[in-house]
């Protein structure tokens, strides 16, 4: 019998560039095992003060548009009170107010119930932190699928 609550931590190398990393496949892989055909909720959480989770379209330029918009809203310059790290790093600490560090998503029959063009993405603007963790947690009913 599958557990009502199951969790896994992903380790993701984001490199030294700002990135939007599509983790939908990782979420689906986790749910094949954890959900085992059941309904429930997937919580996606990044335990970092300078990264977030977004549900957006990818591959058609939206991920680049998101980074461009964040540059406009949160410029990497010296206006920030939080000044350690790379130039403009203070903006990275404001990012989670715009792109929250979590998302809770519906799971139906063991699969993510996303819209046609929706993907689950890690958003990382901190060029000084090259490795991120993402915690995936499934909460579902107990019993057989």
CATH code, domain carrying 62: 2.60.120.460
Is 84 within the bounds of a domain?
yes
pLDDT score recorded for residue 128? 86
Is 4 within the bounds of a domain?
no
Average pLDDT, the chain: 92
pLDDT score recorded for residue 127? 86
Is 145 within the bounds of a domain?
no
Is 35 within the bounds of a domain?
yes
Is 132 within the bounds of a domain?
no
Is 87 within the bounds of a domain?
yes
Is 1 within the bounds of a domain?
no
**Closest residue by Cα to residue 91 from 60, 126, 130:** 126
Is 100 within the bounds of a domain?
yes
**Closest residue by Cα to residue 135 from 110, 108, 104, 114:** 104
Range of the domain at 88: 21-127
Cβ contact 87:77 at 8 Å: yes
Asked whether the predicted pLDDT for residue 87 surpasses 80, the reply is no
The reported pTM is 0.92
Number of structural domains found in the chain: 1
- The dihedral through the CA atoms of 92, 95, 97, 99 has a sign that is negative
Q: 26-83: per-residue pLDDT in tens? A: 999 999 999 999 999 999 999 999 999 999 999 899 999 999 999 999 998 888 888 7
Chain mean position to CA 108? 20
């Amino acid at each position: 019998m599958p557990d009502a609550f199951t969790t896994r931590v992903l380790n993701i190398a984001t490199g030294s560039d700002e990135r939007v990393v599509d983790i939908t496949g990782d979420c689906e892989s986790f749910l094949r095992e954890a959900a085992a055909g059941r309904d429930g909720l997937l919580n996606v959480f990044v335990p970092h003060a300078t990264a977030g989770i977004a549900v957006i379209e990818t591959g058609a330029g939206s991920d680049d548009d998101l980074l461009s918009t964040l540059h406009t809203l949160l410029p990497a310059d010296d206006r920030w009170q939080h000044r350690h790290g790379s130039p403009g790093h203070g903006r990275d600490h404001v990012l989670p107010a715009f792109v929250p560090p979590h998302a809770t998503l519906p799971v139906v029959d063991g699969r993510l119930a996303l819209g046609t063009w929706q993907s689950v993405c890690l958003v990382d603007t901190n060029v000084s932190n090259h490795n991120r963790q993402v915690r995936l947690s499934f909460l579902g009913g107990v019993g057989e699928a």
